[in-house]
Amino acid sequence: MEGKHNLEERVQHLENRVRYLESKLQMIQPEKVADEKAANFTHDIPVSKTDSVIEPKENNVIEWDVLIFQKILPRLFIFVFIIGVLWGFKAASDYGYLTATVKILLGFITAIAFVIIGIRQLKQGRTVLGQVLVGGAIPILMLTTFTMHQLYDMTGPEVAFLLNIIWIGLGLFFTYKYKSQSIGIVSAIGGVFVPFLIESTAPNIPVFVFYETLLYVLFIWLALRSRYIILYYLSAILLNIALLLFIIFAGVPENDKWLAVSPVLVQQIALLTGFIKTSYSLNKQAYTLFSSVLLSSLWLGVVLTDSESSIVFAIIALLYGVSFYYYQKDTVRAPIFIANALMGILFFVKMMSNELTIEMLIGSSLIYMYIAHKYKSLFHTLLGILTYFIGAISIIYKFIPAWISWEMLHWLVLIIATSYAIYYLANRRKEDYQTTMNIGVPYVSILLLAFTAMLSILLADNASESMERIIMSILWIIIAIAFMLVGKSLSIIQGKYIGAGILFLTLAKIILIDIYFVSVAVKALLFIILGIVGLLVSRAYYKK
């Protein structure tokens, strides 16, 4: 009875399960039928193959009316109008129609009218015209303040400076509110040069530094927030120009130079922070960051002493070195951090020991070469070529005066670094191997010939000129043999051809030049040595 009872329970459980599955199937079935009908409906519609791949084309036709009447004319003729107003004021003043007070009032009234009309145009949808009018009010206000202060002596420097700060604040406000980069550009240009429009016998350096630093930080923040790339560029460039002009023309005392150049470090921190915290136009930010370091380093090295500027360069190198350590896996940020750190080290070395600058240039070119390969960066490739070219040119024109000398070190570093670079580049990409070796091996041979030519003078010491020529020829023969041996052992096919070429060059030198300055015995010795070497080479590469 117990087995029969268990069997009935199992049957009941299966029946309940079947009912549950039937209810689920009834819920799914209508959706399936609808999907099949939709599939059949779409299947019955003929679809052209060409229709399935045709995408709407973008309309690249230039709208000349918009370009001319809405973009070019407002921007151009606002400047024409401002110039006309200035000339009108001058003409009226020359004829005695306007007093100084009236001219100043007209200047402020014109600026206010520009703002009111510009805002009205913006509200009516005429964006470009409205932005131009509002932006044009800022320089009118600055020029009016300048005229009131400098020409008519109506205000002191404090009031003029305060008014100009207010105008710059208006420019920032209008730039942010109406999303106009042009207003920001006008405000930035005017704001950076406001201190130079103020007449003062004793410039207040702390106020100048605070003003320029705050102005720069505000504009760089606004440029990154609103994605105004031109304003971003200008902010980076104009600060350096303003600081340099202030140091040159304001007569900054030696004790205050550190304070005067401190905005440079603030600039680097601000640019670096924006580069790290934002993701907008990272490549453009990277190039701006590099250009800013280069520009700042160039003029700081001029206005500061070697010991002072070396401290600044050490801080720059440390700042970007630490940044690279934390962002070394970032393929966009890490390469520029390396470039800036190397630049800081380069200028630091130049200030501390000018002779080691060449070694730093050659070493930097190798690092740039490695970074260019690792991060696939064309920018670092160009940097590597440029730094190597500067270093190589600086070395090539240096004669080696003694065995232990800076010039000897320069030449050895150049030859070793060049040989390694060619080996690295040739093995980096197999498809470029032959091209790299075809160019690189002859170039190294030329460097070695020039190097050994100077060594022959050192070896000859105070001996006769004929001895110097003999030593040079022997050294060249040794180089030829070395190229052949190294080429054969490393399977560098260019080695044997370069070696043979050097032998021919040595023979030509002996016949065309040396033969007229050496004795018969020396001629015999040179020809015997060269002949034996030539025959041995021929035998070594002889093929049946």
Q: Are 382 and 335 in contact (CB under 8 A)?
A: no
Q: Categorize the per-residue pLDDT at 421 as very low, low, confident or very high, splitting at 50, 70 and 90.
A: very high
Element at 363 (helix H, strand E): helix 357-375
Q: Are 320 and 340 in contact (CB under 8 A)?
A: yes
What is the tens place of the pLDDT at every residue in 354-405? 889 999 999 999 999 999 988 888 899 999 999 999 999 999 988 899 999 9
Residue 447: is its pLDDT beyond 80?
Answer: yes
Least reliable range by pLDDT among 87-91, 141-145, 174-178, 311-315 = 87-91
Q: Categorize the per-residue pLDDT at 337 as very low, low, confident or very high, splitting at 50, 70 and 90.
A: very high
pLDDT of residue 37: 45
User: For residues 216 and 394, which has the higher predicted lDDT (pLDDT)?
Assistant: 394
* Percent of the chain topping pLDDT 70: 82
Mean per-residue pLDDT over the chain, rounded: 81
pLDDT of residue 39: 45
Q: Categorize the per-residue pLDDT at 143 as very low, low, confident or very high, splitting at 50, 70 and 90.
A: confident
What is the tens place of the pLDDT at every residue in 513-529? 777 777 778 778 878 88
Q: Categorize the per-residue pLDDT at 299 as very low, low, confident or very high, splitting at 50, 70 and 90.
A: confident
pLDDT of residue 289: 92
If you ran DSSP here, which 8-state letter would residue 71 be given?
I
Residue 45: is its pLDDT beyond 80?
Answer: no
Average pLDDT, integer, range 117-141: 84
Average pLDDT, integer, range 21-47: 50
Across 69-78, 137-146, 357-366, the highest mean pLDDT is recorded for 357-366
Across 98-102, 242-246, 414-418, 505-509, the highest mean pLDDT is recorded for 414-418
Q: What is the Cα–Cα distance from 269 to 320, expressed in whole angstroms? A: 10
What is the tens place of the pLDDT at every residue in 149-158? 777 788 887 8
Q: Are 244 and 303 in contact (CB under 8 A)?
A: yes
Residue 541: is its pLDDT beyond 80?
Answer: no
At CA 491, angle to CA 486 and CA 494, rounded to 5?
Answer: 75
Q: Categorize the per-residue pLDDT at 348 as very low, low, confident or very high, splitting at 50, 70 and 90.
A: very high
pLDDT of residue 446: 94
At CA 143, angle to CA 139 and CA 148, rounded to 5?
Answer: 150
Q: Categorize the per-residue pLDDT at 344 as very low, low, confident or very high, splitting at 50, 70 and 90.
A: very high
Least reliable range by pLDDT among 97-106, 119-128, 210-219 = 97-106
Residues 409-428 as b/e (b if ≥16 CB within 10 A, e otherwise) read bbbebbbebbbebbbebbee
Residue 372: what are its φ and ψ, rounded to 5°? -60, -40
Least reliable range by pLDDT among 182-186, 221-225, 309-313 = 182-186
Q: Categorize the per-residue pLDDT at 419 as very low, low, confident or very high, splitting at 50, 70 and 90.
A: very high
pLDDT of residue 313: 93
Q: Categorize the per-residue pLDDT at 449 as very low, low, confident or very high, splitting at 50, 70 and 90.
A: very high
Least reliable range by pLDDT among 221-225, 249-253, 435-439 = 249-253
pLDDT of residue 543: 58
Alpha helices in 45-72 (DSSP H): 49-53, 64-65
Q: How would you classify residue 542: left for phi > 0, otherwise alpha for psi between -120 and 50, otherwise beta?
A: beta
What is the tens place of the pLDDT at every residue in 477-509? 899 989 988 888 888 888 888 988 988 888 888
Q: Residue 389: how many CA atoms within 13 Å on its side-chain side?
A: 6
pLDDT of residue 86: 65
Across 3-7, 217-221, 367-371, the highest mean pLDDT is recorded for 367-371
Across 82-96, 137-151, 293-307, the highest mean pLDDT is recorded for 293-307
Instruction: Give the 3-state secondary structure of residue 405.
Output: coil
Residue 218: is its pLDDT beyond 50?
Answer: yes
Residue 252: is its pLDDT beyond 60?
Answer: yes
- List strand residue ranges (DSSP E) for 88-225, in order: none
Q: What is the Cα–Cα distance from 161 to 155, expressed in whole angstroms? A: 10
Q: Are 332 and 282 in contact (CB under 8 A)?
A: yes
